[in-house]
Chains A and B, each alone.
Chain A
Amino acid sequence: GAVVSQHPSRVICKSGTSVKIECRSLDFQATTMFWYRQFPKQSLMLMATSNEGSKATYEQGVEKDKFLINHASLTLSTLTVTSAHPEDSSFYICSARGRGLGNTIYFGEGSWLTVV
């Protein structure tokens, strides 16, 4: 099946710094990518939807200036958490839909962000 890879799987950063998480579709062209955030023992909350070559659509309550999403190519989307604070510590998961793969959505392995 199609593979979506996230990097890094775990990252620790200092409060006030920025951190970038990458989401790559390894064997298909991802026309749409989705970013989710999951706090411990909670469900996945959709943050934003990004289509290749266009600006991301953010869900209500998600600060677009804080969570910068770039989907510059059909195989890569990045989420940059700017000026990170401890409350941004969370599990971030991306998923992707691919050209020619119907409506199936493929998930990455997730990235643990800890802000200290």
Chain B
Amino acid sequence: TQLLEQSPQFLSIQEGENLTVYCNSSSVFSSLQWYRQEPGEGPVLLVTVVTGGEVKKLKRLTFQFGDARKDSSLHITAAQPGDTGLYLCAGVVWDSGYALNFGKGTSLLVTP
């Protein structure tokens, strides 16, 4: 069962452009995490959002948690080729021993 829906699945943009990735669910999550994964490596945590309406910034990345804690977005300003990778949102499911359930991911390609 896919608890988290991510969109878009694929995104190819040019350096300098802005983009937004969305993560939606019908479930309420105690927290949502965003990860970035390079091919052949484990995911690397970017941010955890906990409070409804919370906004966190990480340099050119802005993360927002929806007021109802069912959705989140990741906005990248002035994308750079180094931002290329697979972006994954993940939510904690309480009754699975805090297992993370992942969205399908957004594969981002930033070309010079």
User: Residues of A with Cβ closer than 8 Å to B?
Assistant: 6, 32, 34, 36, 41-46, 49, 51, 57, 60, 91, 93, 95, 97, 103-105, 107-110, 112
Q: How many A-B residue pairs have CB under 8 A?
A: 57
User: Residues of B with Cβ closer than 8 Å to A?
Assistant: 1, 31, 40-45, 48, 88, 90, 92, 96-105, 107
B99 near A34 (CB under 8 angstroms)?
A: yes
Instruction: Kindly report which residue of chain A lies nearest to residue B33, judged by CB atoms.
Output: A105
Give the distance to chain A from B28, nearest Cβ to Cβ, in Å. 16
Most chain B CB inside 10 Å of its own CB: which residue of A32, A44, A104: A44
Give the distance to chain B from A108, nearest Cβ to Cβ, in Å. 6
Instruction: Kindly report which residue of chain A lies nearest to residue B1, judged by CB atoms.
Output: A60
Give the distance to chain B from A37, nearest Cβ to Cβ, in Å. 11
B97 near A44 (CB under 8 angstroms)?
A: no
A103: chain B residues at CB < 8 Å are: 31, 92, 98
A101 to B41, CA, bound (A): 23
A109: chain B residues at CB < 8 Å are: 41-42
Give the distance to chain A from B48, nearest Cβ to Cβ, in Å. 8
Which of A41, A43, A60, A104 is the one whose CB lies under 8 Å from B88? A43
A105 near B98 (CB under 8 angstroms)?
A: yes
Instruction: Kindly report which residue of chain B lies nearest to residue A93, judged by CB atoms.
Output: B42
B88: chain A residues at CB < 8 Å are: 43-44
Give the distance to chain A from B49, nearest Cβ to Cβ, in Å. 13
A78 to B24, CA, bound (A): 33
Instruction: Kindly report which residue of chain B lies nearest to residue A61, judged by CB atoms.
Output: B1
Which of B97, B104, B107 is the one whose CB lies under 8 Å from A51? B97
Q: A34-B99, A49-B99 are in contact. Are A41 and B107 (CB under 8 A)?
A: yes
A60: chain B residues at CB < 8 Å are: 1
A6 to B42, CA, bound (A): 10
